[in-house]
Amino acid sequence: METEQLIRSLAREAEPVERLPHPVWRAMAWALLSVAYVALIVVAVGVRPDITEKLQDPRFVIEVGAALLTSVMAAAAAFCAGCPGRPVWERFAPLPFLIVWLASLGEGCWRQWVQIGADGRLKFDLMCFGAIFALSLLPAMLIFAMMRRGAPIAPMSTTGLATLAATALAAAALRLFHPQDVSVMLLVWQFGSVVLLAGVGFFLGDRLLRWTLVEPRSGDG
């Protein structure tokens, strides 16, 4: 097919395209729906009995707040990664909050080690992984459905960030009803679960997000 014929064919058969909202607005819409969902789960399960005391602990507030901000910024970065022409640095937006989250857990590990020594050692606990996976499932399905309206120009980054958004939100919610405060357990089983699931989402990007190829019609040359 000649170039001019191709241009005419595309101009003649192209369907109207609805412009997507700004990535930040899409991320806020996702966050509102997802936070409402996990809030209902927390209320249904029941908040931890010491929640009033924990909310007065700056380290707990920083930890949960950093997890929430990691989730929101990862969602915004995922939507940005699906928009052609946006700068690459936006994909690193959740990194500062992820570092604060990790640092709060690391500081807690050091403090507990100084105070109680080996009594704060790591124990086997798959409940955290299962709870984070279950809590993040619906938010992950929602953000993946929303991302499919964009352009999969960076599928691995997009899916990795989207999975990070869903799992970080689940980890923050888990801290509100699961009374686990040993920092090394939180670091390995909660933060570690988030990193593991985000890594799985990253490596599945090429399979989960693909360009939709339109086959030329037989009469178009």
- What pTM does this model have? 0.81
Residue range 23-69, pLDDT digits in tens: 889 999 999 999 999 999 999 999 999 999 999 999 899 999 999 99
Q: What H or E segment, with its residue span, contains residue 201?
A: helix 192-203
Closest alpha carbon to 197 in 150, 161, 173: 161
183-196 per-position pLDDT tens digit: 677 777 788 889 99
In the predicted structure, residue 18 carries a pLDDT above the cut 70: no
pLDDT at 3 over 60: yes
Position 197 pLDDT exceeds 50: yes
Paired tokens of 175? 């801290």
Instruction: List, for residues 122-172, the tens digit of each pLDDT value.
Output: 565 677 888 899 999 999 999 999 888 776 788 889 999 999 999 999 999
Between residues 1 and 16, the one the model is more confident about: 16
Angle 76-155-69 (CA atoms, 0-180°, nearest 5)? 25
Maximum separation of any 2 CA atoms in the chain, in Å? 78
